[in-house]
Amino acid sequence: MLNPRQDLKPNTAAYETQALVKPTGFREYDARWILEKEINLLGIQALGLGLATYVQEIGVAPKIVTGHDFRSYSLSVKQALILGLLEGGMEVLDVGLALSPMAYFGQFELDAPCVAMVTASHNENGWTGVKMGANKPLTFGPDEMGRLKEIVLNGEGVARPGGKLVRVDDFRETYVADVASKVQIKRPLKVVCACGNGTAGTFAPDALRRMGVEVIEMDTDLDYTFPKYNPNPEDHAMLVQMAQRVRETGADLALGFDGDGDRCGVVDDTGEEIFADKIGLMLARDLSKVYPDSTFVVDVKSTGLYKTDEVLKASGAEVVYWKTGHSYIKRKTAELGALAGFEKSGHFFMAGDLGHGYDDGLVAAGAVLAMLDRNPGKKLSELKSALPDAWTSLTMSPHCDDELKYGVLERIVKDYSDLAAAGGEILGRKIVEAITVNGVRVHLDDGSWVLVRASSNKPELVVVVESMRSEDDMRDLFRKEIKPRLAAYPEIGAFNQEI
């Protein structure tokens, strides 16, 4: 295998005969590039050979599920990837056009330990990428991605005999039937299903109807130009249109799915968005009554209400805060045998009786519908208003150079940890705990908290604060605590936005 190059230009002979792979595409838990500019099809083939080599290196059976999302180029990218996997001696089970969770489901249903899903998720057109795993239901984290990057960029891929391609026909039906079988809704519910013309449009309306609800389709036709908005249920443009459709149709809720269907966004019957950490809390409250003494995993950017919630306490539920990132929450959910994991970006990991433990937007949607079914006299907005009040800030990011940010963060973590150990206070409230799994999240005795962590992909720190008292108190936690404390570090620059 030749060492991939980083300096190739399209429309040249070299570009047609050599692999282009920019190292920046290897992220913490997946790979993402701008096609043609940062990677070419021969580079994708090199990635496939590198992945096959890594699988052989760690002693896992060389059997892998592949699928692709709906972009103009995703099928070509997947075919190039498959060529590399075959060269590396792997048996490839190709499920065709797929959501990421459908490919993950394939690992269980088709008894294959590995997965490589070609998707750019919710990124704009032009991007491509691969989500990979070799230990179901987990996907790669920083260690696996680091070794894969070495193998690919150093040309360490090893060609082996035994490569085989199996085309798995009609796997969409197997997947949709499995998802729908977990939920059967008895109360009449009218649901807006928003897909942003992304891949989920082929799967979500059918799955929701089979769960027993009336579906109002919204942008479910496949169109890889994404003419209205990017399929991303965290984006304002998509949420505004979901809310408008709920108000127009008198729907009970809207469910929105991202480009590869592993995330779900929720808008209630009044047209208000419910952030994923609050939906997670509503689900945890509901599920903890059905499954007492359960464990739930949430990321450190999520609301502090999980810690103080009386319903969860009464059901014996335990909540563990863990590192932000879908790969980390998925791994911790599996490690602890938790019933579910919730990440604020909209990844939900339903395990045990509820799912296989990976992030699946359709399974998450089913869990929200089942919660409404168990509370037949209540609207979604009423379940939301039953939560205690909490005022959460925007995510604010002060600049800090990539090569400096982790060193600076280490000092901030020590600063807060020392304050906690000394029985210190913040704005008149005693510090009860400093969680240091991902930066530092400082919990106060009234349930309020402040968080400082490093951005995983930008030269920035990340700051979030939440008050259980008032909006003014939330502003004070930032202006009178976080901002002056960070101002003492000359390496930290201006914030991208402030409350």
- Residues catalogued as catalytic: 121
Phi first, then psi, for residue 116 (nearest 5°) are -145, 105
Coil, strand or helix at 48: helix
SS (H, E, C) 267-330: ECCCCCEECHHHHHHHHHHHHHHHCCCCEEEEECCCCCHHHHCHHHHHCCCEEEEECCCHHHHH
Whole-number Å distance between alpha carbons of 331 and 338: 10
Q: Order of strands, edge to edge, in the sheet holding 440-444?
A: 391-392, 461-467, 449-454, 440-444, 429-435, 425-426
**Which residue, 93, 89, 91, is CA-closest to 56?**
89
Whole-number Å distance between alpha carbons of 481 and 486: 9
Q: What is the DSSP string of 406-456?
A: HHHHHHHHHHHHHHHHTT-EETTEEEEEEE-SSSEEEEETTS-EEEEEE-S
Would you give the DSSP letter of residue 491?
Answer: T
Vertex 394: Cα angle to 25 and 487 (nearest 5): 85
* No. of helices (H) and no. of strands (E), the chain: 17, 21
**Which residue, 276, 265, 268, is CA-closest to 247?**
268
Contact status, residue 137 vs residue 35, Cβ threshold 8 Å: no
Segments of 98-168 assigned E as strands: 114-118, 127-133, 164-167
Coil, strand or helix at 9: coil
CA 154 from chain center: how many Å?
30
Segments of 29-140 assigned E as strands: 31-34, 63-68, 91-97, 114-118, 127-133
**Which residue, 438, 469, 470, 460, is CA-closest to 451?**
438
Residue 137 preceded by cis peptide, ω within 30:
yes
Pull the structure tokens for residue 426.
Answer: 């913040």
Contact status, residue 491 vs residue 477, Cβ threshold 8 Å: no
**How would you classify the pairing of strands 127-133 and 114-118?**
antiparallel
**Which residue, 51, 15, 21, 57, is CA-closest to 39?**
21
Contact status, residue 290 vs residue 367, Cβ threshold 8 Å: no
Question: Any idea how long the chain is?
Answer: 499
